[in-house]
A and B are shown apart, each in its own frame.
Chain A
């Protein structure tokens, strides 16, 4: 698993806009949202992983096993898929990083970074997930966290997080009226 993504950083997270790497090795930026809530409030919400089902797609429950270990239960194809995770790195009000442990369907890590928005306009949250790719063994669920779909899934989850923190709900049309059922 690439370690450099898990290394806590001391300098402002958005400062470096130049890269000395060759073009082919440059990484795209992780998806970000700006949430109109204070940094400490957003960090406290995210540090408690049992809040993740309130916004993370298909996540039904997170059971805290200790201050750093947790068990995540996802819904996939009408079944529950479970894996454990451990907090790998943490900087108060800046960074939370976790990785799966044991027999996860596709081992991966996640990194949430937080910083105040420019102009005192809230909190910027970025989310990156990735891991070793296992071609042929990926569930549709695991591809949400690993590989090329992970960025769009992180974007979806960040927008749901923003909507939940700003309004108390995230937008949905599941179960609405439509002519496909008739």
Chain B
């Protein structure tokens, strides 16, 4: 089959690779109909995530039709159309039983390796390095899904793929980020990052009762999408200072909650941001947390800082004194996608939201390598790229 494979930093190729097959009794094989490229795929493309191996199949936002099931699969059948969550859960461990699927104990064959970094590694992820299990991803014609009964959402016939593809990652991620912000009716929420996760978080914040959402970015194309989603937009390159601006917009109180939908590749031009970039270039810092610093500094006393991420390693110069002094609440982590897929599908089918608004490009798999390059270089034009498989 054809697949987009990681070949090194800044190098993605279309390769013909061996077809997936059933390896474990709860597996299924899916013929992929649509897959998306995620902003976090760019962290792999840019060489920020260790343990990638040449030839690894990319992609964690996938949907398609089941073509084969293993002998112990109970609920899924050949022919069903499913969306696949990006995190891989077993459904049986103590975390899965509490709906904390991205904390699953039993899906990462390299848990012992992940433990050396985080002491307790979480679930495996599709297409996201061997630290997270090394599973082949879904930017390919077929994908193998372990524990398919847990790791699938069945889609009713007649629903267009584009409407539901983002239940695999960015819609649950934006929604969980908004939920983690503990939004009360009437609240003001500030969201750093107007990429797909930030855009989903804007819409989710309104669904959860926010009165006002402030969207912060510097790409005018993305800010326009944020404005169309109902946010008050702030281009941080066009103002005196971001903390000054947010303080003004919130009547001197600060936002009730702040969402960092930027993560480790922050683009800011503040002194700390410039230092961050220097450190990562030289290799002595790993993450660039400028958005997170601003979120902590801006948030009201007792407010919530919600971090859908992604962060990988160590941060420097985090204003923890401000966090303590204001009694902030932090919620963060990889999305427990399986928990949110069905409730969010219900909202889509009730016409409360159509996530396909984030799509800016539709391509064939052969265009994948160029799309990665363009996505990385032109974020003003490229927001979400969807691969339509044959």
A residues at B contact (CB < 8 Å): 34, 36, 121-122, 152, 155-156, 159, 162-163, 166-182
Contacts of A155 in B (CB 8 A): 112, 115
Is B25 at the interface (CB under 8 A from chain A)?
A: yes
In the complex, chain B residues 1-36 whose Cβ is within 8 Å of any chain A Cβ? 1, 3, 5, 7, 13, 15-21, 23-26
Assess whether B56 is interfacial by the CB under 8 Å rule. Answer: yes
Q: Are B147 and A179 in contact (CB under 8 A)?
A: no
- Dominant SS among interface residues on chain B: loop
Known: A167-B90, A177-B143. 8 other contacts (CB 8 A): A155-B115, A166-B92, A167-B106, A168-B25, A171-B24, A177-B19, A178-B56, A179-B54
Question: Which of chain B's residues have a CB closer than 8 A to the CB of A181?
Answer: 17-18, 55
CB <8 Å contact, A177 and B109: no
Cα of A169 to Cα of B90 in the assembled complex, Å: 10
Q: How far is the CA of A159 from the CA of B24 in the complex (A)?
A: 17
Q: Are A172 and B23 in contact (CB under 8 A)?
A: yes
Complex contact B3–A177 (CB within 8 A): yes
* Interface core residue of A172, A173, A181 (most chain B CB under 10 Å): A173
Q: Is the CB of B92 within 8 A of A177?
A: no
Contact of A162 among B5, B105, B115, B144 (CB under 8 A): B105
Task: Give the distance to chain A from B152, nearest Cβ to Cβ, in Å.
Answer: 16
Q: Flag if A182 contacts B112 (CB, 8 Å).
A: no
Q: Are B54 and A169 in contact (CB under 8 A)?
A: no
With a CB–CB cut-off of 8 A, which chain A residues contact B146? 171
- Contact (Cβ within 8 A) B17 A179: yes
Residues of A contacting B136 with CB < 8 Å? 173, 176-178
Q: Decide yes or no whether B175 CB sits under 8 A from chain A.
A: no
In the bound complex, do residue B135 and residue A176 qualify as a contact, i.e. CB atoms below 8 Å apart? yes
Q: How many contacts A-B (CB < 8 Å)? A: 107
Q: How long is the Cα–Cα vector from A13 to B292 in the complex, in angstroms?
A: 43
Contact A169 B15 (CB under 8 A): no
Of B17, B23, B112, the residue contacting A178 (CB under 8 A) is B17
Among A166, A173, A175, A177, the one with the most B-chain Cβ atoms within 10 Å of its Cβ is A177
Q: Is the CB of B109 within 8 A of A36?
A: no
Contact flag A159-B17 (CB < 8 Å), given A167-B147, A169-B26: no
Contact, CB under 8 Å: A167 / B18? no
Within 8 A of A (CB), among B289-330: none
Interface SS of chain A: helix, strand, loop or mixed? loop
Which residues on the B side are within 8 Å of A167 (C-beta)? Answer: 26, 90-93, 106, 147
The residue of chain A having its C-beta at the shortest distance from the C-beta of B121 within the complex is A159
Q: Judge whether A173 and B109 touch: CB under 8 Å.
A: yes
* Complex CA distance for A159 and B90, rounded to whole angstroms: 13
Interface residues of B, count at CB 8 A: 46
Pair A171/B106 contact, Cβ less than 8 Å: yes
- Residue of A121, A159, A170, A172 near B112 (CB, 8 A) is A159
In the complex, are the beta carbons of A159 and B135 less than 8 A apart?
no
Nearest residue, chain B, Cβ from A178? B55
A36's contact among B54, B93, B111, B134, by CB below 8 Å, is which?
A: B93
**Quick check: is B228 within 8 A (CB to CB) of the other chain?**
no
Chain B residues near A177 (CB-CB < 8 A): 1, 3, 17-20, 57, 136, 140, 142-144
A181 → chain B closest CB, angstroms: 5
Q: How far is the CA of A118 from the CA of B23 in the complex (A)?
A: 35
- Once A176-B20, A177-B140 are accepted as A-B contacts, the answer to whether A156 and B92 lie under 8 Å apart by CB is no
Contact B72 A168 (CB under 8 A): yes
Whether the Cβ atoms of A159 and B15 lie closer than 8 Å is no
Measured between beta carbons, the chain A residues less than 8 angstroms from B147 are: 167
Contacts of B108 in A (CB 8 A): 171
A-B contact pairs, 16 of them (CB 8 A): A121-B94, A152-B112, A155-B112, A162-B106, A163-B90, A170-B106, A171-B106, A171-B108, A173-B23, A175-B23, A177-B1, A177-B19, A181-B18, A182-B16, A182-B17, A182-B18
CA–CA, A121 and B105, complex, Å? 15
Chain A: CB-nearest residue to B143: A177
Contact B56 A166 (CB under 8 A): no
Say if the beta carbon of B107 comes within 8 Å of chain A: yes
Q: How far is the CA of A20 from the CA of B20 in the complex (A)?
A: 55
User: B124 at the A/B interface (Cβ < 8 Å)?
Assistant: yes
List residues of chain A with CB within 8 A of the CB of B17: 177-179, 181-182
- Which residues from B are CB-within-8-Å of A36? 92-94
Residues on A with beta carbons closer than 8 Å to the beta carbon of B174: none
Residues of B111-136 whose CB lies within 8 A of A = 111-112, 115, 124, 133-136
Q: Which residues of chain B are within 8 angstroms of A159 by Cβ–Cβ distance?
A: 105-106, 111-112
Bound form: Cα–Cα A174–B135 in Å: 10
Q: How far is it, in angstroms, between the C-alpha of A122 and the C-alpha of B94 when the chains are bound?
A: 10
* B95 to A, closest residue via Cβ: A36
Q: Are B106 and A178 in contact (CB under 8 A)?
A: no
Q: Is B53 an interface residue (CB 8 A)?
A: yes
Question: With the chains together, A179 CA to B106 CA distance in Å?
Answer: 26
Residues of chain A within 8 A (CB-CB) of B57 are 177-179
A178 near B109 with CB under 8 A, answer: no
CA distance A65 to B80 in the complex (A): 49
B15 x A179 contact (CB < 8 A):
yes
Bound together, the chains give a CA A176 to CA B144 distance in angstroms of 8
The residue in chain A whose Cβ has the minimal distance to the Cβ of B116 is A152
